Structure 1
């Protein structure tokens, strides 16, 4: 009875602690890239049931390791909340399950539980910066391989960045076509295939290593098939295949290729008999000790919950002037305000924003401006690196990204991050910076560090992301465009102080 009460207590405490983290986690699961996560928990439970015979006859809780894991759970939870990084909160969810396993079964049972916990880790979507890094690289790799496949079968094709020109159609290999949505489920598939079909460690490792090349190749083959259909059948058929059936077909091909790899490795290296603990999986242990530790775990989780509520209740939201009052005439610049629809505002998650186009009367140049301000920042509602937004559509590719140091003599009052994006026939120059609680920061990781520190020491997480953009002319150099933006920032930034508290 004590064991049941302890387990119910820790389950209730776990749900209460992470209650507000479930919606953002499920939203990530509902995206095309991470829809496979819905299958992860049932798979982990099934694998754990399969390995129950590996449990030792005598089960002893590993209290020391479990409390260390529980302490790390709290550190990741509060760090994720303070720095508005939900990936850390999601990892703490998983680590909490690990701590519970250690409290109940101990390290001696990890032979049975290590693999199910590894599978369960795939329920945690990776942080956005990993997505961005992988997406940028995968788009170019997939584009390059698909062009090589088409050239091999004598299809005339030309590639510039992530744009594939087939003459009759142009394929823009945007983020959704990068193949990222196939990479993580294919890795999980490789891990499961290696576990189920191969018994030697080196065979399992090779199957896992084959997963990423398989995902990249099959995605490139998908793009090449679209090119073949466009040239030899019809553009309509190609577009229909590209948007409808190709994902299922390609993932089935990945399964076939990995299964063939697993079978080939078995033929080469053979299988060895698996050693099981025996036909009787019965075991015994010390239920009183385990129940006490599990109940104490529930108490610790309750303390974490109370601490989070205390931090939220003491949050400071400084007074400021609304961007509705921002002047749209700045010296030689005349601005026209823009207003976003409900869907865009929901994706921004900001409390206030300024969007518009400022035109220089002398040169006729248009400068696009977007400032998003947050009274407080939290996971799924925070200023973030705008690269993913700029590259999210329209066929843009990132040509360069670097910091521009402050140069008050030339009009640049502080350091900014410069982005150069391009696509056939167009180039976009963008400056951005995080202006938060009296600091101007260009590195998003330093911004997260200061966000966490200020959340603890000053109880403030307010701040803004400022973005200015300029379309470069045909014969205009990057340096010339940079001077245009620097001149604008000199006038624009001096007006921001009442709207972004120091």
Structure 2
């Protein structure tokens, strides 16, 4: 923190408690109600494997900060500190995100604001003279935040496919026949599904976090620190691919009995520990491989865990006077809390709707056969209600048409709402053509809207897919646009519900794409008038 007034005798300064720690703690506590939705969001995510490292991050950052500030300047930056505007440029937008989190019910917004708020408080306390020392540790705070759900889906798919491809390459190199279809590894007698837990994503953030911690702590040149951070994700993917390959070979040699939840968990945590160990040893190996005359880092141990000087820093911080920027942030937090207390109840509205179980199964001569999702898929989808029916007869005489719809009561919470372009490759489907196009449903409650149309292939199979997202009476072709609309709708209309709608039909060998699209359109025209009862407009 900023040092004490240089005019006070040292012992006198250490005996008294300055205003800085009092104001800093007050500003921190005032942030609790301001960022409460974010704290709830973080607490929920930190119970998952992917973000279980979250509670450790603040402790890491605190340790790195006090080490970095041990040698801070002892001269009071009176004028420069008074004009230090960076804490305001971080703190005020942070409070705005906290308010937005309250108004929309989107906890992620408040969580992002919380990280900015913590950074603003630290920078206000340490002052401009110590900005360079504080930035590195503060950047680690980002790694305790959950990714936006859609970004996480995209990342999951990429890592899963990459892990599967590397694993299959290793299996084939060892002479075991194997076929890969999406994320299904076919060994002939046994098929292995590469799930999220096998893809490395659940350990990427803990590994990245430790890579950043080691990089900041290591006495190494900048390029080695960058290499440590850059190696984290590839290392996680490769190690998990080797784990998948080892499991597949064990299944091929011994049988499916080697697969179990306990073994799976032990393997996963073993991969995490091996990755952390490799990253921790990397600067030592690089130093050993670098000639002495070319070493840019100072001599001595690679990692300096010394706590020398931290006690003196604590004494100086204890007696420090509060900078104006810190006082200003505390006042801003107090005003924000007062404003939030005046905001009326913002509980999202729940429009009346009929459950999908009441959806008619006979429409204009078509008969719909209801389906049911695999429990694992339903759990990932996390929909409040879903409809899965396949029409045949009449408009769907030539080939069946599948209608799938998933309704979410509250899209402001983490949900499985995502584009089919993310999950289709996992099942071995290749997207050969995709575009957005207008859909004319004049005469139905949907009129004309824009949807995404895709042609997908798997072996000799071909299908045409049409899908869109519903939110508060509006249709969007993009899941990201829908999520952004939830932000606006949550504030203005208190509507955060939404849905995903998809129609699929196969393209027969004896017909054109246009024929299949016409079959989709005819089925949609018969079924869409019944959807508003289940997906409120």
Which bracket does the TM-score occupy, shorter chain normalised? 0.7 to 0.9
Q: Which whole-Å CA distance do the structure 1 matches of 2:438 and 2:129 have between them? A: 58
Is the Cα–Cα contact under 8 Å of residues 348 and 490 in structure 2 kept in the other structure?
Answer: no
Q: How does 1:59-70 map to 2 (within 5 A)?
A: 59-60=76-77, 61=81, 63-70=84-91
Q: How does 1:334-345 map to 2 (within 5 A)?
A: 334-335=367-368
Q: Which whole-Å CA distance do the structure 1 matches of 2:343 and 2:421 have between them? A: 31
When normalised by structure 2's length, the TM-score is 0.77
Q: Which whole-Å CA distance do the structure 2 matches of 1:175 and 1:449 have between them? A: 26
Q: Which moved more, 1:192-201 or 1:410-419?
A: 410-419
Structure 1 equivalent of residue 224 of structure 2: 203
Matched positions, count: 495
Structure 1 equivalent of residue 205 of structure 2: 184
Give the CA RMSD over aligned residues.
4.1
2:62 aligns with one of 45, 52, 73: 45
Q: Given the superposition, is the C-alpha separation of residues 334 and 266 from structure 1 closer, same or farther in structure 2, using an over 3 Å criterion?
A: same
Q: Which moved more, 1:126-135 or 1:473-482?
A: 473-482
Structure 2 equivalent of residue 136 of structure 1: 157
Is the Cα–Cα contact under 8 Å of residues 160 and 424 in structure 1 kept in the other structure?
Answer: no
Q: CA deviation at 1:238?
A: 5.1
Structure 1 equivalent of residue 418 of structure 2: 385
1:122-164 deviations in Å (ceiling 9; x for gaps): 1112212221121111112111111222222222222222222
Is the Cα–Cα contact under 8 Å of residues 350 and 497 in structure 2 kept in the other structure?
Answer: no
Is the Cα–Cα contact under 8 Å of residues 55 and 109 in structure 1 kept in the other structure?
Answer: yes
Q: How does 1:345-360 map to 2 (within 5 A)?
A: 348=382, 350=384, 353=385, 355-357=387-389, 359-360=391-392
Q: Which whole-Å CA distance do the structure 1 matches of 2:479 and 2:105 have between them? A: 12
Q: Which whole-Å CA distance do the structure 1 matches of 2:439 and 2:383 have between them? A: 33
1:4-55 deviations in Å (ceiling 9; x for gaps): 5433432332111222332322221111222222322222222223333132
Q: Which whole-Å CA distance do the structure 2 matches of 1:467 and 1:338 have between them? A: 15
Q: Which whole-Å CA distance do the structure 2 matches of 1:312 and 1:426 have between them? A: 55
Q: Given the superposition, is the C-alpha separation of residues 349 and 107 from structure 1 closer, same or farther in structure 2, using an over 3 Å criterion?
A: farther
Q: Which whole-Å CA distance do the structure 1 matches of 2:101 and 2:349 have between them? A: 20
When normalised by structure 1's length, the TM-score is 0.82
Is the Cα–Cα contact under 8 Å of residues 240 and 271 in structure 2 kept in the other structure?
Answer: yes
Matching of residue 459 in structure 1 with residue 480 in structure 2:
no
Q: CA deviation at 1:253?
A: 2.6
Q: Which whole-Å CA distance do the structure 2 matches of 1:178 and 1:249 have between them? A: 14
SS at match of 2:147: coil
SS at match of 2:175: coil
Q: Which moved more, 1:21-30 or 1:316-325?
A: 316-325
Structure 2 equivalent of residue 151 of structure 1: 172
Is the Cα–Cα contact under 8 Å of residues 164 and 171 in structure 1 kept in the other structure?
Answer: yes
1:443 aligns with one of 456, 462, 478: 478
SS at match of 1:365: strand
Q: Which moved more, 1:308-317 or 1:17-26?
A: 308-317
Q: Which whole-Å CA distance do the structure 2 matches of 1:66 and 1:58 have between them? A: 20
Q: Which whole-Å CA distance do the structure 2 matches of 1:340 and 1:161 have between them? A: 19
Q: Given the superposition, is the C-alpha separation of residues 424 and 251 from structure 1 closer, same or farther in structure 2, using an over 3 Å criterion?
A: farther
Structure 1 equivalent of residue 5 of structure 2: none
Q: Which moved more, 1:53-62 or 1:220-229?
A: 53-62
Q: Given the superposition, is the C-alpha separation of residues 116 and 172 from structure 1 closer, same or farther in structure 2, using an over 3 Å criterion?
A: same
Q: Given the superposition, is the C-alpha separation of residues 254 and 247 from structure 1 closer, same or farther in structure 2, using an over 3 Å criterion?
A: same
Structure 2 residue runs without a partner (length 5+): 1-16
Matching of residue 160 in structure 1 with residue 181 in structure 2:
yes
Is the Cα–Cα contact under 8 Å of residues 430 and 467 in structure 1 kept in the other structure?
Answer: no
Q: Given the superposition, is the C-alpha separation of residues 59 and 180 from structure 1 closer, same or farther in structure 2, using an over 3 Å criterion?
A: farther
SS at match of 1:32: coil
Q: Which whole-Å CA distance do the structure 2 matches of 1:155 and 1:485 have between them? A: 43
Q: Given the superposition, is the C-alpha separation of residues 459 and 304 from structure 1 closer, same or farther in structure 2, using an over 3 Å criterion?
A: farther
Q: Given the superposition, is the C-alpha separation of residues 419 and 22 from structure 1 closer, same or farther in structure 2, using an over 3 Å criterion?
A: farther
1:188-234 deviations in Å (ceiling 9; x for gaps): 22222233334211221122222222111111111111122223344
Structure 1 residue runs without a partner (length 5+): none
